Amino acid sequence: MENGQELINSYDLLFIVEHPKYNEIYNQLKQAGAIIASGSSIEISLDSKSILISIDPNRIKDMDLAWPANLSYRTEEEINFQYFNIAELPAYPEPLEQIEPTKIIITDFHPDTKFKQDWELEEVNFSYSVFLRNVVKSIIGTSKRNVWLSRYSAELAGVVDQYISGFLFGRQIDFEDKSNVMRLRNQQLFDFVVTEVRRQIMKFIENIKSNDVVEAQWAKLSNFKEMKVRMERSITTKKCLYPFIDFPYKGGFERQFTEDQLDNDSMVDSYVKLNQYLHGFSITYLNSRGYPVPYYPDFIVKTKEFMLIVETKSEKDAQNDIDVKSKAIAAEQKCREFSKIKTTPPEPIIQPKQWKYILLPQDIYKEMEGQSLRAIISKCESNLALIKMKREN
């Protein structure tokens, strides 16, 4: 105004007027965690009606949550050697007492003098544990196909130990007795044990189902320390890291659900109203034209039993919008993948492993007004199954 320039927006006017009432509002916002910017609104990159709200550090311990940002997949064989039947391994054709240690003879021969001398190489470090270790190494071998078995070396050593000490010779053998140990220095015996155990192990593995392992890189809500909020559309929160969150112009249903259920239902530990530009959480789905596009859900909710991805919709959209079904199918599949994730969220976050997708139509919410979130979830799950069945027909 002083320079004869046109005002950019109403916030510029408020700063210029400096009315005591405005200062009181700003002080209240600061106490609530807001950051009040100064200077041109163009320079601070906020729109004319938004301010930056910081997370409440006192809420992080109890209300922080995480979601998978990137997923990776691999196949893993889960082997439980408790089910390996050692009794199916064959006995050795000779009793232990008749086995002689294999001798390693070294000959020193000098052609000029015709001098020849033989001596036996003794393995002074040979022991029962050395024998077990060598058998396991030979069972695994050097083939790339079997190298993954090396992570089960301890379990394989246990199998070999039980086989040799209790089954190989038809009776229990005490390998604390060094004379018994020395009889294991026999190449034919060694080869027999390796061959038979390997054959039975491979047969055992063939009957084991492989598991698809999902691993994730996690995004922590507390890492998104500030969020733009339009205060005239905001509410004060109880169970969210952000002390204020806002809603779209026609977001009355989302607002009601947040105030009545998310902030006041005992089932809810914490939640976040997702901002697609800040949090970036999305699920890819095929739209009605067949193109893969990102879908940005409304909420992530943490309970003691499971994590919820919640989408609120009008009755009309929930029943008639074909993309709503496509989004739900993609989100349910993503929740199944999330529930299989082997990697845990970053410490100190503790949250349930299972994820669920909830499509909440407005008519169902009105019908169940005053009921618990658990009852609403159950109704929504049945309704979504019905929606998918109708559209398939």
Longest dimension (CA), the chain: 117
Give CA separation, 367 vs 138, 262, 360, 363, in Å.
Answer: 68, 18, 12, 6
- pLDDT at position 208 is 72
**Calculated CA dihedral for residues 327, 333, 334, 340, nearest 10 degrees:** 170
* Residues 361 and 313: beta-carbon distance below 8 Å: yes
> Which residue's structure tokens are 């922590």?
220
Average confidence (pLDDT) per 10 residues, the chain, 393 residues: 47 47 63 55 54 96 96 77 91 92 63 62 75 93 80 92 94 91 91 94 79 88 96 95 92 93 97 96 92 96 97 89 92 95 93 97 94 95 83 54
User: What's the rounded Cα separation, in Å, for the pair 116 and 108?
Assistant: 6
The closest of 351, 217, 341, 224 to 276, measured between CA atoms, is 224
* Residues 69 and 219: beta-carbon distance below 8 Å: yes
Answer yes or no: pTM beyond 0.85: no
- pLDDT at position 101 is 80
> Which residue's structure tokens are 């050795």?
92
- pLDDT at position 279 is 97
Nearest-5° angle of CA 153, CA 158, CA 159? 100
* CB within 8 Å of 172: residues ≥ 6 apart: 165, 166
In eight-state DSSP terms, residue 259 is: I
User: Which alpha helices (DSSP H) does 261-321 contain, by range?
Assistant: 315-320
